[in-house]
Structure 1
Amino acid sequence: MKKEEKKLKDKEKKEKHSKKEKKAEETELKLKEELDNLNKENSELKDKLLRKAAEFENYKRRTDNEQSNLLKYTGEHIITNLLPVIDDFERSLKHINDAQDIDALKKGLKLVYDKLMKTLNDQGIKKIEAVGKPFDVEYHEAIMQRKEEGVEPHTVLDEIETGYIYKDRVIRHTKVIVSEEIVEEKVENNSDNEIKNEGKEN
């Protein structure tokens, strides 16, 4: 009887041990499967990250090239618009020696000049109007001063070199002659009269 009980207990122990082993194996397999899935997912994420990094590098290189070209050829549009004006000048210069009518030549050059100024104006380049206006350091550079009767002091009398504005920025100040304040010489005259009177009294 005792032997049978012992056998029964041993059998139960073996069954329990077997169940534990089986459960451990199942857990191990499950963990291994999860680990494989995680490794696979990690590998996929790594590939995505590398692809994104490569895409970003290509994008950065492309935008750098575009910006470099933009800066390099920023004046291309203005130059292209100036080419027809240069063509007109070249045509005028070819026939300048054969010109019989000086007035017609002057008129032709004036037309070319007007075309040039219109092209510049269309691109946002404008002349700074100076003569007759109050001197302004923002737009003018005084080269010399000159006394001028009937003109307010610090008024621009003449232009030596034309200034220009590009959009809202001064790219060259106008070099100008400015009116000087006229100081009356009454004090000096009075002093001279006093000296003369003192001489007479002596």
Structure 2
Amino acid sequence: MIKNKKEKQEKVTEIKIKESEDSTAEIPNEQEPETNEELNRIAELENQAALYKDQYLRTAAEFENYKRRTDAERTEFFAYAGERVLSDMLPVLDDFDRTMESFDKSHDKDALKKGIDLVYAKFRSVLEKQGLKPMKSDGTQFDVNLHEAILQQPDEEKEPETVLNTVEKGYYLKDKVLRHAKVVVSSKPE
């Protein structure tokens, strides 16, 4: 009986081995080595992927360089933004120096007044060349976009909210309000 059992186990084992050999024999048929055409296609796609990755990395590096360069240019621009204005102001500064030297030597008030008038005219000319224009406010209607009312004063002769007096001039830089004019505005008498 033991012999019989052993024989049965051996037969079962043989059958299992045969079945496994048959099943493994089928597997290679299902996973046949790829053809040259498929291998070439895979190699081509890998090359294309590598090319796209390289292009991506180069583009990313170029963009980082662009950001660094524009940041540096912007920093330099703001650091030297007033350069043109200051270079235009140097002759005015030179004139002030000459006026002060001549006053120290002569103490002539008329000559000093004339020198200061010339320097003032040159200074205004430089500012106008940069686009600075004074605002004309006296006698105009009060406008919150142009004026800052610091005082209201009753006035029977003027229409209410008319600018009576400019305490501090307002200025335009080209078409933009650079500084609002500080003004005294008329109101209805009580």
- 1:75-154 aligned within 5 A: 75-146=82-153, 150-154=157-161
Rounded Cα–Cα distance in structure 2 between residues aligned with 1:93 and 1:107: 12
Picking from 43, 47, 64, the partner of 1:36 is: 43
> What SS does the aligned partner of 1:96 have?
helix
* 1:160 match: 167
- Give deviations 1:121-170, integer Å, cap 9, x for gaps: 11111111122333333222233345667555543333322221122222
Give the direction of change, closer, same or farther, for the CA distance of 1:37–1:162 in structure 2 (3 Å limit).
same
TM-score (norm 2): 0.69
Q: Which runs of 5+ in 2 are unaligned?
A: 1-31
Q: Is the 8 A contact 2:103 2:112 kept in 1?
A: yes
Aligned residues: 160
> What SS does the aligned partner of 2:127 have?
helix
* 2:61 match: 54
Aligned residue type for 1:102 = K
Q: Which runs of 5+ in 1 are unaligned?
A: 1-23, 184-202
Picking from 66, 71, 87, the partner of 1:64 is: 71
Q: Is the 8 A contact 2:156 2:188 kept in 1?
A: no
Give the direction of change, closer, same or farther, for the CA distance of 1:41–1:151 in structure 2 (3 Å limit).
closer
- Give deviations 1:77-118, integer Å, cap 9, x for gaps: 222222221222222223222234322221211111111111
Give the direction of change, closer, same or farther, for the CA distance of 1:145–1:30 in structure 2 (3 Å limit).
closer
Aligned residue type for 2:69 = R
Q: Is the 8 A contact 1:99 1:105 kept in 2?
A: no
- RMSD, aligned CA: 2.8
Q: Is the 8 A contact 2:133 2:172 kept in 1?
A: yes
Q: Offset at 1:179?
A: 4.1
> What SS does the aligned partner of 2:35 have?
helix
Aligned residue type for 2:124 = M
Aligned residue type for 1:135 = F
